[in-house]
A and B are shown apart, each in its own frame.
Chain A
């Protein structure tokens, strides 16, 4: 058993590195799972993908030279998610950034507050957004990431994080105010 490991011993981390990984990276497992959950829209698949991403992070750990461990891990989680989507749900993965900016329906903060307090409705609205919009919202509103971190995780230039968020929020508002039936065509 020990003999078979010798060939790749250079990739295998030792006990000290393992301890460092536990201290720096593993505390962000919740963040990893939450991001995967919203990108894949499934708890079950997210468990597999989060696990794969953490192990991948472990293998790459020698390449991590300090800094923001959460952003570093989430970047790997995001890549793992998109690779998984490409393989398992190719149609969904093709949905691209929708650059259009429609004038919004006039919406009062009160009506939005009511719609926004309904967990089911919010969750469904968020899930109807294309993944690229969904991820910036999840990172900003649920994970509390800064623009700099969002840029690092999603590989979009920091100058465009603000406009990506603006578009994502507009899309979410629209999804919240439209009748749920039209917004959920994939529920068959």
Chain B
């Protein structure tokens, strides 16, 4: 009746923690052992239930704010030490040089089309991202089907954001919602990455295309900004920059 495997290797197998040879050995055992097959199905059902039921609890926005305030109090202000006269002179000289270069470089920068800043601030962006993570705020239309999310936006916005699912690349589309950024309505596409969410804000722009800019960082969140084919994009998340960049490139293509 009792099977040694049931209580040992089965859980390692379920969790993908067995090495290749033990994993193969367990699979061979599974073929002939009804008890273990059934137990494995039961465990899988339990896991699916745990992961589907939304048991993961997110902190309220106020906690992050409280912690930041406490961190501010626990961080040393930049020391106001005495600065020698020669350093003042060096600094003044450096400012003059920079001013001179900017003066000459300014028209050039405009001529080659130095990218205009996005029409919203980093604070607005991060606030919108954090708000979306509060219970019930993430999506207005929850669907992993790009053909369901795209038409949902039409009629609600005066532009059609490109909607694509990247589940095969590890970024499943979770849904979409409307949000307000910099005082205007924007589309937001929500992607999942393991247990985390990535908000991709999309709005139309008249500015020319840009590459994906270097990441911005604030309050522990990172974002990437770029413009492509008349749309302005900003992807925000707490996932690693590498993951965020991967998604940005998928969207960019």
Contact = CB atoms under 8 A, between A and B. Distances in A.
Interface centre among A15, A19, A169, A176 (most CB of B within 10 A): A169
A26 B217 CA distance: 12
Contact of A147 (B2, B15, B77, B133): B15
B70 A51 contact: yes
A12 B15 contact: no
A65 interface: no
B8 A29 contact: no
Interface stretch (A80-88, A90-98, A134-142, A178-186): A134-142
Contacts, number: 149
Contacts of A165: 11, 15
Contacts of B238: 27, 30
B34 interface: no
B28 interface: no
Interface string B12-29: 100101000000000000
A141 to B, nearest CB: 4
A188 interface: no
A144 B43 CA distance: 16
B49 A116 contact: yes
Interface string A107-150: 11110110111110011001000000000010011111011000
A47 B78 CA distance: 30
A113 B43 contact: no
Report the 3 A-B pairs with minimum CB-CB distance, sorted nearest first. A116-B49, A26-B220, A33-B59
Contact of B67 (A51, A141, A144): A51
Interface string A1-40: 0100100010011110111011101110110011001100
Interface in B46-91: 46-60, 63-64, 66-67, 70-71, 74-78
Contacts of A23: 217, 220
Interface string A46-60: 110011001100110
B59 A30 contact: yes
Contacts of A46: 57, 59
A165 B57 CA distance: 21
Interface of A: 2, 5, 9, 12-15, 17-19, 21-23, 25-27, 29-30, 33-34, 37-38, 43, 46-47, 50-51, 54-55, 58-59, 101, 103, 107-110, 112-113, 115-119, 122-123, 126, 137, 140-144, 146-147, 162-163, 165-166, 169, 172-173, 176
Given A29-B67, A34-B57, A59-B74, A113 B15 contact: no
A109 B49 contact: no
Nearest to B196: A30
Interface string B180-224: 000000000000001100000000000000000000010111000
A13 B70 contact: no
B131 interface: no
A101 B43 contact: no
A137 B55 CA distance: 12
A116 B71 contact: no
Given A2-B77, A116-B48, 7 more contacts: A27-B220, A27-B221, A47-B60, A54-B67, A55-B70, A123-B55, A141-B47
A123 B57 CA distance: 11
B55 A122 contact: yes
Given A15-B76, A113-B45, A166-B7, A142 B55 contact: yes
Contacts of A169: 11, 43, 46
Nearest to B78: A15
Contacts of A163: 7-8, 11
Contacts of B42: 107-109, 112, 173
Contacts of A33: 57-59, 63
